[in-house]
């Protein structure tokens, strides 16, 4: 079926689908992979991003400390499963040509990491008189440079495309408010230089009938390039009588014009079912911020925050996701 366009990753962390399991995404059987207190100061470690790095793995992790201040930390792993996270948060220096005021810090959370051309770009929800999208980059996960915020407040979930679209950098995001945001649609923007963002386009919004995605939707991991278009894993939120429930599903975006939705799933592919997803600081949250992919096998390993407390890992393939989306389609 569809092919992932990208690199082979023979050392992708992986477990085969359990026999007889009929759902499209399955959990690592030793979840959660990152406990809430992996570093001495942390209350919780979740909604974090990992990438292949120098034959191994690196990442940027959301660690809320025991004062419940949100910040992002670099981490490293030989196998993508056992992680060492720095005990001090990332300290950004202003990128060359940027005013030092860009590094002003209030809070930082829900990072994404995206390799584009020659470096790892990092985007996160950045406190700037309200949440917006912070942008930085690193070559080595040791020195980090910060650029201008991409947008005015209020915005969350800035997710870059891994290559330029129509000659421009491209990003998905979800405009929001200062609070817990009772709405949320997905938008697309382009930039020639990673500073000035425009050409804003609407991608898709909530569903009137598909309950799990009826309150808000937002981009999750970096979209996965396939020969059929951009495979996008996104979170959807239900407003239940006990509060928000976060699940995730998939859509396929047009390859050349990614603001055009080609297909979208009606059923979620993954949601809170295990105790560490149902119970924690914020119950009933599964929130994906990263995948690893292997173009040779079509394997996809998903990293997700569980109950805003710990980090889990789950597995799927490009075929599993596309065939499930096509079995249970949502209108576009
Ligand atoms: C969102 C963000 C996420 C969090 C989610 C559920 O607004 O704060 O980091 O996982 O709410 O609490």
Looking at domain 26-327, does it have CATH number 2.115.10.20? yes
**Count of CB atoms situated within 10 Å of the CB of 209:** 9
Is pLDDT of 231 > 90?
A: yes
Q: What is the DSSP string of 109-151?
A: EEEEEEEETTEEEEEEEEESSSEEEEEEEESSSSSEEE---SS
Is pLDDT of 277 > 90?
A: yes
Q: What is the mean pLDDT of residues 286-309?
A: 98
Residues 34, 42: contact at Cβ < 8 Å? no
Instruction: Please give the distance, rounded to the nearest whole angstrom, from the Cα atom of residue 96 to the centre of ligand 1.
Output: 32
Beta strands 198-204 and 216-219 are unpaired
Average pLDDT over the chain reads 98
Residue whose pair of structure tokens reads 């990293």 in the numeric block: 303
- As a whole-number percent, the residues of the chain with pLDDT over 90 amount to 100
Instruction: Please give the distance, rounded to the nearest whole angstrom, from the Cα atom of residue 50 to the centre of ligand 1.
Output: 18
- Picking from 219, 221, 223, 185, the residue whose alpha carbon sits closest to that of residue 204 is 185
Q: Whose CA is nearest to atom 9 of ligand 1?
A: 110
**pLDDT value at residue 93:** 98
The ligand 1 site (C-beta within 6 Å) comprises 47, 109-110, 180, 246, 282, 285, 287, 305, 308
pTM of the model: 0.98
Q: Give residue-wise pLDDT tens across range 71-86.
A: 999 999 999 999 999 9
Q: Give residue-wise pLDDT tens across range 97-114.
A: 999 999 999 999 999 999
- As a whole-number percent, the residues of the chain with pLDDT over 70 amount to 100
Edge-first strand listing for the sheet containing 299-306: 26-27, 310-317, 299-306, 286-294
Q: What is the mean pLDDT of residues 159-184?
A: 97
- Quote the tokens at residue 114: 């995206």
Is residue 19 helix, strand or coil? coil
Q: What is the mean pLDDT of residues 293-315?
A: 98
Which atom of ligand 1 lies closest to the CA of 282? 12
**Buried b / exposed e along 39-57 (16+ C-beta atoms within 10 A):** bebbbbbbbbbbbbbeeeb
Q: Whose CA is nearest to atom 11 of ligand 1?
A: 180
Is pLDDT of 65 > 90?
A: yes
Residue whose pair of structure tokens reads 């759902």 in the numeric block: 23
**pLDDT value at residue 1:** 79
Beta strands 92-94 and 84-85 are unpaired
Residue whose pair of structure tokens reads 């419940």 in the numeric block: 68
Report the distance separating Cα 13 and Cα 299, nearest Å: 10
Q: Which residues on adjacent β-strands are paired with residue 276? A: none
Mutate to test the pocket of ligand 1, among 69, 124, 308 (most ligand atoms within 8 A of CB): 308
Q: Whose CA is nearest to atom 2 of ligand 1?
A: 110
């Amino acid at each position: 079926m569809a092919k992932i366009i990208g690199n082979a990753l023979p050392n992708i962390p992986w477990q085969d689908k359990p026999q007889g399991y009929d759902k499209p995404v399955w959990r690592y059987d030793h979840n959660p992979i990152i406990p809430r207190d992996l570093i001495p100061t942390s209350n919780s470690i979740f909604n974090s991003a990992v990438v292949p790095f120098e034959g191994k793995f690196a990442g940027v992790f959301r660690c809320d400390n025991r004062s419940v201040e949100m910040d992002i930390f670099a981490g490293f792993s030989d196998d993508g499963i056992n992680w060492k996270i720095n005990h001090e948060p990332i300290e950004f220096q202003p990128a060359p040509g940027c005013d030092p005021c860009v590094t002003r810090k209030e809070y930082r959370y829900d990072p994404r990491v995206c390799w584009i051309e020659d470096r790892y770009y990092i985007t996160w929800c950045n406190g700037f008189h309200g949440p917006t999208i912070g942008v930085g980059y690193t070559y080595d996960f040791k020195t980090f440079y910060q650029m201008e915020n991409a947008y005015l407040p209020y915005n969350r979930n800035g997710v870059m495309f891994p290559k330029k679209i129509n000659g421009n950098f491209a990003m998905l995001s979800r405009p929001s408010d200062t609070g817990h945001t009772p709405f949320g649609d997905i938008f697309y923007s382009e930039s020639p230089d990673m500073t000035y963002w425009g050409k804003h386009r609407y991608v898709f919004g909530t569903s009137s009938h598909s309950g799990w995605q009826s309150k808000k939707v937002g981009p999750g991991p970096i979209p996965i390039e396939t020969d059929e278009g951009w495979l996008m894993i996104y979170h959807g939120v239900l407003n239940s009588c006990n509060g928000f429930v976060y699940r995730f599903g998939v859509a396929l975006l047009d390859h050349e014009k990614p603001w055009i939705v080609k297909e979208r799933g009606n059923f979620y592919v993954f949601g809170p079912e295990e105790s560490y997803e149902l119970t924690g600081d914020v119950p009933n949250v599964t929130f994906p911020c990263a995948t690893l992919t292997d173009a040779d096998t079509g394997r996809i390993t998903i990293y997700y925050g569980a109950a805003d407390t710990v980090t889990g890992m789950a597995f799927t393939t490009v075929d599993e996701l596309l065939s499930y989306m096509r079995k249970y389609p949502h209108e576009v």
